[in-house]
Structure 1
Amino acid sequence: MARKMALPKIGVNMTEAVIAKWLVGPGDKVNEGDPIIEAETDKSTQEIYATESGIVAKLLADEGETVQCYSDIMVLVDEGEEYHGEAAEKPEQAGQPAAPGAGIRRMQLPKIGVNMTEAVIAKWLVGPGDKVNEGDPIIEAETDKSTQEIYATESGIVAKLLADEGETVQCYSDIMVLTDEGVEYDEAEDAAPAETEGPKAREATPPETPAPVRPAVPAAVPGTRVRISPLAKKIAKENGIDFRLVPPAVPGGRIVKADVLRFLQNGGPAVPTAAYEDAALPNIRKVIAKSMHASLSEMAQLTHSFSFDATQVMAYRKIVKENAEKLGLANITFNDIILFAVSRVILNHRDLNAHFLGDKMRYFTDVNLGMAVDTPRGLLVPTIFGANKMSLNEIAVAAKDLAKQAQEGTISPDLLSGASFTVSNLGTFGVEHFTPVINPPQTGILGVNNIQTKLKMVDGEAVPYQAMGISLTYDHRALDGAPASRFAQELCRTLENFMALLAR
């Protein structure tokens, strides 16, 4: 059957894109998830992926054309089917009667990031009877990376919501039923294919009656033999209960653990218990837990700790802070300075600017720098792409913008992947030393510690200075301790002579 595929929205702020290049053409077979377009948004050039499978019958937009999100971009048909133009798609225009259910359609959960496969419906923003227009926010959805609004891919009246709040939904699964204005939605008719018995069979079904309440089961009469499980007997003894007084769930049956616990709950001897509250893990916490466990269980991780004289870095930051407004600079922090230095030094140590892929290494020509950000929903790691090509001020601006988006939950999932190396800063919390955990398949991560006063010998005299600590964790499968230490040594020397780095 001929059907049209629309341009998906792949970022929170994306409203349109320019078709830079088609990667498919008429006659090509595409599968859901295949790249079909190179598109230019207002931010970057990205590949757009097919939202369904089929044979390309017709392209509806030219290269160089600007297309609005959710506008049709191509026609797909099933394999072996011939496409005869618009008439094949809309038989009702040829004078044929409309099919049952005309004016009723289902809307699917769109894919809003390259790596997104599912989302949790955190909150519905619309309900049955509401009118929605294409592009209106309809859901607050929780992905494995962030919380984002999902927008309607078409217009209509909401007839039914097909997913509950808190439910996990796969991308491209139906999430709600829409109708045209004035069209009535009959839920029973919509579900008719599943009800093969017909009306008479439904009438023959006896009405539901409430289940009879089971009468209380009397306890065993003292002196009679009582059957009880060893565990139930042990629990009764620990709580000072005469187990003969505990009624089994089944008359004449064996007393089990559940019977004893129920007896305690309903008035047996009180036992002090710790107060607690169970709470379901948020989706992002599950992802972090899975990723961290996999990282530590599948890698050979080792951490080396170093410190450097931060005197020059502190003096430089003071100068910049005092003159930032006059020079039109961002608020450059110690973390920005570390990110800048890492982006320059790591190019000399390619084993750390890489991914370990089991049977091969992937070395990056640019430094795509991940930065760990603490957010209300958990740890997120946005990526500063091409950090080695940015100035210190540009890195400071990018870092603050990404951190803000991550903390507000508005960051695109595509900015939360693709890093070649990561920096995690806990120095602001007073942490003196820690062992950061690598984000696989990266081969290393740098931890930044606090600043401490230390002593060094100068002309036979102990002189105090401000020392900053760093902790480098690396994957011993990808590189050895000596090259890892050489990177940390060069980074420390570079930071101790930061003014010279800026002069390069």
Structure 2
Amino acid sequence: MAIEIKAPTFPESVAEGSVAAWHKKPGDKVERDELIVEIETDKVVLEVVAPEAGVLTDVMAEEGDTVQSDQVLGKIGEGSASGDSEKKEEKSSGDDSAEKSEEKSDGQKEQQASAGKQHDIKAPSFPESIQEGTVATWHKKVGEPVKRDEVLADIETDKVVLEVVAPADGALQEIKAEEGSQVESEAILATFVEGGGSDYANATDNRPAASADDGASDEQIGDKIVAPAARKLIAEHDLDVAKIEGTGKGGRVLKEDVQKAVKDGSAKKAAKSSSAPAKAAAAPVAEGERTEKRVPMTRLRQTIAKRLVQAQQTAAMLTTYNEVDMTEIMALRAQYKDTFQKAHDIKLGFMGFFVKAASEALKRFPDVNASIDGTDIVYHGYQDIGVAVSTDRGLVVPVLRDTDSMKIADVERKIVDFGKRGRDGKLGMDDMMGGTFTITNGGTFGSLMSTPIINPPQTAILGMHKIQDRPMAVDGKVEIRPMMYLALSYDHRMIDGKDAVRFLVTIKELLEDPARLLLDI
């Protein structure tokens, strides 16, 4: 009996999706829970797995087709896979001539298998909010054996770094988009051949060195063939190419070879020979040399710049300030930090208190939790708070979902996870989308006071700063207290000054008396 493969049940906010990629063909065997097809929506890519083991018999929605929630995509039935049917067709009558024919056929199959099936390696399907990406890194060289699902390349977009993996065991045959190239959604990055990489490598060894791999754009320097990316690095570091050992086909010098030489310091140009004029050899280095280096902006940095300028140009942005006495919060941390860590296996930080205080304040002041969409105001019945995380690539803002229902331990654990994945470039698109409010903590870098910029289409952002001991008047006496300045930038088109000030005062009161968070007062 045929089993239907259905699209996932989409949430209410997602009307439809499109079939991004089939990972199986009709006639292929599939195992239970094996990935069969991917459905791309306007927010995320959803994976559809096999409900039972069997053979894919029908594909009822081709790649690119638009599908609805729970729509039937294909069917799994009982029966033999295409490979089994081929074996049946090859069954001989048993006479000598048939046996020879079968041997010949098997030999042809082995030859075809060694050549391998070719695939186009494509860039991922970008969401509508992302127009293009940049090829950041190729992790594999042409002809190098790779395993199925092993990472071939990284594509850097303005939000995240996306990984492109191998569709099967095999090797890259040709790279069509070099590192630094800009590519669009589903653009062809390379061609891939199934089977052992050694077969293709042996074939390419017989080609002229200058035309191996993507050598059409290579350059001959002395007796070395140098790849374009390697040539650029050699020029930047002023290296002697003759001292760099090429590991590519035919001794081709690759980017990785140059990076290794830079690290080892083994390819520096030698000083001029003794036959050169003595005064030239002893020429002094100019003092106070003023060097410059020009590098292109990363796509993430370009987008950050664009969005920040857009926010300042479109929003009527205003900032209100206050300060919070962190005495009670710090006392709580000192008293319970060891117990907290034993119970939850995570350190107790400050961000958990601020997220919970902001969640409570957002419930009381729904205008601050709203967003502007054209001429409409969208009021959100939930609190999704973005937390700014600094990475080597720039600032990213992953989102904590439904913070009102999260415990402080959940917040701290999630933020640690965001920080780790952000540094490793592993944050996904779904981690960054949405958000009704943002918190940024410049205090981790020593900032005493700053004016944060709103993250559109949100209408407010809270800035935390450095905790600093200052003399304060307490009950008519001067006491040294740990104080932190808070800054709330808000869009005056949406939020009145009175509500912005009251919102910030509410956060201050909740933090200075943490019992309010527990008692909901």
Cα distance in 2 between the residues matched to 1:338 and 1:485: 17
Q: TM-score, normalised by structure 2?
A: 0.61
Q: Which digits, 9 at most, give the CA deviation of each residue in 1:297-344, with x for residues without a partner?
A: 121110000012221111111112242344345211122211121122
Give 2:442's aligned residue. 426
Distance in 1 (alpha carbons) for counterparts of 2:353 and 2:63: 54
Alpha-carbon deviation of 1:126? Answer: 2.2
Residue in structure 2 matched with residue 321 of structure 1 by the alignment = 337
Read off the aligned partner of 1:150 and give its amino acid letter.
V
Alpha carbons 2:325, 2:484 under 8 Å: kept: yes
Q: Retained in 1: the 8 A contact 2:19–2:61?
A: no
Q: Pick from 341, 352, 359 the counterpart of residue 336 of structure 1.
A: 352
Matches for 1:225-304 after TM superposition, within 5 Å: 274-304=290-320
In the alignment, structure 1 residue 401 sits paired with structure 2 residue 452: no
Partner residue, 1:228 = none
The correspondence for 2:132, drawn from 118, 121, 138, is: 118
In the alignment, is the contact (CA less than 8 A) between 1:369 and 1:384 conserved in 2? yes
Task: State the one-letter code of the partner of 2:183.
Answer: V
SS at match of 2:172: strand
Give the greater-gyration-radius structure (CA). 1
Counterpart CA distance in 1 for 2:492 and 2:147 is 54
2:374 is the counterpart of 1:383? no
CA positional deviation for 1:498: 0.6
Which of 63, 76, 86 is matched with 2:62 structurally? Answer: 76
1:366 to 373, 382, 387: 382
Query: Would you say the 8 A contact 1:144–1:287 is kept in 2?
Result: yes
State the shift of 1:446 in Å: 0.2
Residue 401 of structure 1 aligns to a residue whose secondary structure is helix
Deviations 1:375-414 (A, max 9, x none): 1111111111111110111111111111111122111122
Change (3 A) 1:62 1:497: closer
Distance 1:114 1:63 in 2: 28
Letter in 1 for 2:8: A
Determine the structure 2 residue equivalent to 1:166. 180
Residues 300 and 394, structure 2, Cα contact 8 Å, conserved in 1:
yes
Structure 2: which amino acid aligns with 1:390?
M
Change (3 A) 1:72 1:419: farther
Please tell me the residue identity of whatever aligns with 1:359. T
Q: Counterparts of 1:400 and 1:73 in 2: how far apart (Å)? A: 42
Tell me the equivalent position of 1:49: 40
Contact 1:372 1:382 in 2 (8 A): yes
Q: Partners in 1 of 2:401 and 2:48 — Cα distance?
A: 30
Write the deviation string for residues 227-285 of structure 1: whole angstroms up to 9, x where unpaired: xxxxxxxxxxxxxxxxxxxxxxxxxxxxxxxxxxxxxxxxxxx9x98421111111211
In the alignment, what sits opposite 1:142? 156
Closer/same/farther in 2, CA of residues 112 and 155 from structure 1, 3 Å limit = farther
1:134 to partner: Cα distance: 3.6
Whether 1:417 aligns to 2:433 is: yes
Q: Do the aligned residues in 2 keep the contact of 1:346 with 1:352 (CA within 8 Å)?
A: yes
Partner secondary structure for residue 444 of structure 2? helix
Change in Cα spacing, 1:374 to 1:179, as seen in structure 2 (3 Å) is closer
Distance 2:506 2:370 in 1: 18
Is 1:476 matched with 2:464? no
> Corresponding residue for 1:201?
none
Match of 1:487 among 486, 503, 520: 503
Q: 2:478 aligns with which of 445, 462, 479?
A: 462
Q: Which of the pair has the greater relative contact order for Cα pairs under 8 Å at 6+ separation?
A: 1
Equivalent-residue separation in structure 1 for 2:479 and 2:486 (angstroms):
22
Structure 1 residues 423 and 495: alpha-carbon distance in aligned structure 2, compared to 1, 3 A threshold: same
* Equivalent residues of 1:310, 1:495 under 8 A apart: yes
1:139 aligned partner, one-letter code: A
The secondary structure found in structure 1 opposite 2:502 is helix
2:459 to 443, 448, 453: 443
8 Å contact 1:299–1:475 — kept in the other structure? yes
Question: Is the contact made by 2:317 and 2:489 (CA closer than 8 Å) also made in structure 1?
Answer: yes
Displacement after TM superposition at 1:171 (Å): 1.6
The answer for the alignment partner of 2:29 in structure 1 is none
The 2-side partners of 1:119 and 1:484 are apart by 38
Number of positions where the alignment pairs a residue of Structure 1 with one of Structure 2: 367
Structure 2 Cα separation of the partners of residues 108 and 318 of structure 1: 52
Q: Matched residues in 2 for 1:333 and 1:387: separation?
A: 16
Aligned to 1:20: 8
Alpha-carbon distance, 1:132 to partner: 4.0
1:61–1:73 contact (8 Å) kept in structure 2: no
Is the partner of 1:316 in helix, strand or coil? helix
Helix, strand or coil at the partner of 1:76: coil
Name structure 1 gaps, 5 residues minimum. 1-6, 8-17, 24-28, 35-41, 52-59, 80-84, 96-100, 188-269
Contact persistence 2:356–2:517 (CA under 8 A) = no
- Deviation (angstroms), 1:64: 5.7
Query: Aligned pair 1:176/2:190, yes or no?
Result: yes
What code does the residue aligned with 1:441 have? P
- Give ranges in structure 2 of 5+ residues lacking alignment: 22-32, 66-74, 77-81, 91-114, 208-285
Q: Is the 8 A contact 2:356 2:408 kept in 1?
A: yes
- Look up the equivalent residue of 1:399 and give its one-letter code: I
Quickly say closer, same or farther: Cα 1:342–1:130, change in 2 above 3 A: same
Percent identical among aligned pairs is 27
Once the two structures are TM-superposed, the CA of residue 114 in structure 1 deviates from its matched residue by 7.5
- Partners of 2:398 and 2:431 within 8 A in 1: yes
| Paired residues of 1:312 and 1:499 also in contact (CA < 8 A) | no
In structure 2, the CA distance between the partners of 1:123 and 1:305, relative to structure 1 (3 Å rule), is same
